[in-house]
């Protein structure tokens, strides 16, 4: 069990560094030799090279909220950038203190990360600091403004790419139900669970910017979602997001709507609570969902969230965490939604089996309750499915502290028949070979994940 309160359990792994974004020169976008003509790689390489490092800027030092950065020399009270976030924020100018590499490929002194003092190539997707050290040491070496338990870009330390939160990822059934009543109901439940006013940024896939909601707008959001948007039926591929930040979500919800008549995949809903919130609040959301709404399957626990605009770098960072913390829940719902028709995307602290999935696979709640569990594992039958809870509280499973998540492993072994044999490949360090599949099956085939 993770000690609380105290340092974040991922701090020792993260230290003060981050992951590095690939240089266009390494993709063939720009020549590394001085005087040579640039070669065009994939679309946008030259534009991105001119804007390195790019990413959503922060409101203040380390507060990654997506506000427009101030002009060079402009001063704002409290260091908060003015203006509403918009499309132009996705690729802002290089910060005033940043420097581009020399034409010949030799890094300038300013290109070295201040906490490594080593010339790591800009495209090397590694953490800049080592993997050793205690959480206390990591906290002492963290850059000002950076948050514990979060991953940042090494060449743009103000850009957060990944973080850990309490989260529940749900793959849905009955798209019409969710469009009309399911999403408004669960958004209302989430707003009750999170601290007041913490979820202030809202966007959809039909917008090019984020909108900061007032308290009244936030309170009326569930009714708006249910009444006005879905009068004509499901909107294929519509995404709705409400978040505490515009970059890397630490609390909020994200919903993808899929028209079942255009099939092949399931819609999904992700509910995210702050890392330090009581896990019982996440359990309460899972119970309400399984009691009131149809779903295919769901997984909940310590969830890794990522910055959509820095997704490859984020998954390199997440893989570094996953090598040490076996209890993390790594989800990419848009990719996993193609594979959850007859399988689970993974197992974790909370593993939810929907009634439809159980019927198709010949599983009953009685059989799960009668299973000879050796550890404190609870099976909770509800109206639309079953919740299998592995232990009283979630754990990250830090193997460096000799904390192996035995209860997680027992649940995974009991549900092995539902674990995938074929799956999508996540980004970053999960992409090569069968790394994604090995991670999902790490408790039943531990020799595969190393």
Residue 373 to residue 366: CA distance in whole angstroms: 13
Angle between helix 279-292 and helix 183-193 axes, rounded to 10 deg = 160
Residue with tokens 């010339």: 119
In the 8-state DSSP scheme, what is residue 185?
H
Res 229: pLDDT: 59
In the 8-state DSSP scheme, what is residue 59?
S
Mean pLDDT value of segment 426-439: 92
- Residue 435: its H or E element: helix 435-440
228: confidence class by pLDDT, cuts 50, 70, 90 = low
At residue 272, the 3 state secondary structure works out as: strand
Res 19: pLDDT: 54
Task: Answer whether residue 410 is part of any domain.
Answer: yes
Residue pLDDT, tens place only, 123-155: 333 333 322 334 444 443 446 667 767 899 988
Mean pLDDT value of segment 8-31: 44
Task: Answer whether residue 203 is part of any domain.
Answer: yes
Residue 420 to residue 434: CA distance in whole angstroms: 12
Q: State the total domains in the chain.
A: 1
Higher pLDDT, 169 or 219: 169
> Which of 45-49, 173-177, 402-406 is least confident?
45-49
Res 227: pLDDT: 62
Res 444: pLDDT: 96
* Burial per residue of 216-248, b for 16 or more beta-carbon CB atoms within 10 angstroms, e otherwise: eebeebbeebbeebbeeebbeebbbbbbbbbbb
Q: Supply angle C-alpha 182, 275, 155, rounded to 5.
A: 110
Task: Answer whether residue 256 is part of any domain.
Answer: yes
Residue numbers of the domain that contains 266 = 163-305+326-423
7: confidence class by pLDDT, cuts 50, 70, 90 = low
Q: What CA–CA distances, in Å, run from 363 to 28, 55, 354? A: 52, 46, 10
Cα R_g (the chain), whole angstroms:
22
- Residue 296: its H or E element: strand 295-306
Most confident of the ranges 24-33, 176-185, 219-228: 176-185
Task: Answer whether residue 87 is part of any domain.
Answer: no
Residue 167 to residue 302: CA distance in whole angstroms: 6
Res 156: pLDDT: 87
Residue 321 to residue 328: CA distance in whole angstroms: 8
Q: Yes or no: say if 265 and 258 are a contact pair by the CB < 8 Å rule.
A: yes
Most confident of the ranges 118-122, 226-230, 247-251: 247-251
Cα–Cα nearest to 9, from 350, 409, 344, 326:
326
Task: Answer whether residue 319 is part of any domain.
Answer: no
Mean pLDDT value of segment 348-353: 99
Higher pLDDT, 309 or 109: 309
Residue 36 to residue 103: CA distance in whole angstroms: 10
Residue with tokens 């192996």: 404
Q: Yes or no: say if 8 and 135 are a contact pair by the CB < 8 Å rule.
A: yes
The burial of 32, by beta-carbon neighbours within 10 Å (0-12 exposed, 13-18 middle, 19 or more buried), is given as: middle
Res 18: pLDDT: 52
Cα–Cα nearest to 242, from 284, 290, 207:
207
Q: What CA–CA distances, in Å, run from 83 to 65, 67, 88, 143, 351? A: 12, 6, 12, 26, 42
Residue with tokens 């997704």: 311
Residue 193 to residue 113: CA distance in whole angstroms: 39
Residue 19 to residue 387: CA distance in whole angstroms: 36
Phi, psi of 242 (to 5 degrees): -130, 125
Cα–Cα nearest to 300, from 288, 281, 324, 283:
283
Q: Yes or no: say if 145 and 158 are a contact pair by the CB < 8 Å rule.
A: yes
Task: Answer whether residue 127 is part of any domain.
Answer: no
Q: Yes or no: say if 313 and 381 are a contact pair by the CB < 8 Å rule.
A: no
Mean pLDDT value of segment 259-271: 91
- Residue 166: its H or E element: strand 160-172
Quickly list H helices, 166-210.
Answer: 175-177, 183-193
- Report how many helices (DSSP H) and strands (DSSP E) the chain contains, helices first: 13, 13
Task: Answer whether residue 62 is part of any domain.
Answer: no
Res 224: pLDDT: 87
443: confidence class by pLDDT, cuts 50, 70, 90 = very high
Res 158: pLDDT: 87
Res 145: pLDDT: 65
Task: Answer whether residue 382 is part of any domain.
Answer: yes
Res 231: pLDDT: 64
């Amino acid at each position: 069990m993770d000690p609380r309160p105290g340092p974040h359990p991922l701090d020792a792994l993260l230290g003060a560094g981050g992951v590095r974004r690939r240089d266009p020169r390494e993709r063939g976008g720009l020549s590394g030799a001085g005087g040579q003509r640039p070669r065009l790689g994939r679309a946008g390489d030259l534009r991105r090279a001119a804007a390195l490092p790019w990413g959503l800027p922060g409101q203040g030092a380390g507060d990654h909220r997506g506000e427009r950065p101030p002009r060079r020399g402009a001063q704002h009270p409290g260091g908060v950038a003015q203006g509403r976030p918009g499309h132009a924020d996705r690729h802002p100018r290089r910060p005033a203190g940043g420097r581009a590499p020399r034409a010949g490929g030799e890094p300038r002194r300013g290109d070295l990360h201040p906490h490594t003092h080593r010339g790591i190539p800009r495209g090397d997707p590694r953490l800049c600091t080592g993997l050793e050290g205690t959480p206390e040491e990591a906290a002492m070496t963290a850059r000002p403004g950076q948050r514990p338990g979060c991953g940042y870009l090494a060449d743009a330390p103000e850009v957060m790419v990944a973080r850990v939160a309490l989260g529940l990822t749900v793959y849905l059934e009955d798209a019409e139900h969710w469009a009309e009543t399911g999403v408004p109901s669960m958004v209302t439940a989430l707003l009750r669970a999170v601290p007041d006013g913490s979820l202030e940024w809202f966007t959809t896939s039909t917008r090019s910017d984020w909108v900061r909601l007032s308290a009244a707008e936030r309170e009326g959001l569930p009714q708006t979602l249910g009444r006005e948007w879905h009068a004509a039926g499901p909107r294929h591929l519509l995404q709705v997001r409400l978040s505490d930040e515009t970059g890397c979500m630490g609390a909020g919800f994200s919903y993808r709507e899929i028209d079942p008549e255009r099939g092949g995949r399931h819609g999904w809903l992700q509910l995210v609570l702050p890392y330090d919130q009581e896990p019982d609040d996440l359990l309460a959301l899972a119970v309400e969902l399984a009691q009131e709404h149809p779903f295919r399957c769901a997984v909940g626990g310590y969830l890794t969230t990522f910055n959509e605009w820095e997704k490859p770098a984020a998954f390199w960072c997440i893989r570094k965490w996953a090598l040490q913390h076996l209890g993390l829940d790594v989800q990419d719902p848009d990719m996993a939604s193609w594979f959850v028709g007859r399988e689970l995307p993974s197992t974790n602290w909370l593993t939810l089996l929907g009634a439809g999935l159980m019927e198709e696979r010949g599983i009953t709640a009685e059989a799960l309750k009668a299973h000879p569990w050796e550890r404190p594992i609870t099976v909770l039958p509800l109206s639309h499915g079953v919740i299998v809870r592995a232990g009283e509280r979630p754990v990250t499973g830090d193997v460096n502290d000799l904390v192996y998540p035995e209860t997680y492993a027992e649940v995974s072994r009991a549900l092995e028949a539902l674990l995938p044999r074929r799956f999508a490949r996540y980004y970053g360090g999960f992409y090569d070979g069968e790394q994604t599949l090995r991670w999902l099956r790490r408790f039943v085939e531990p020799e595969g994940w190393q």
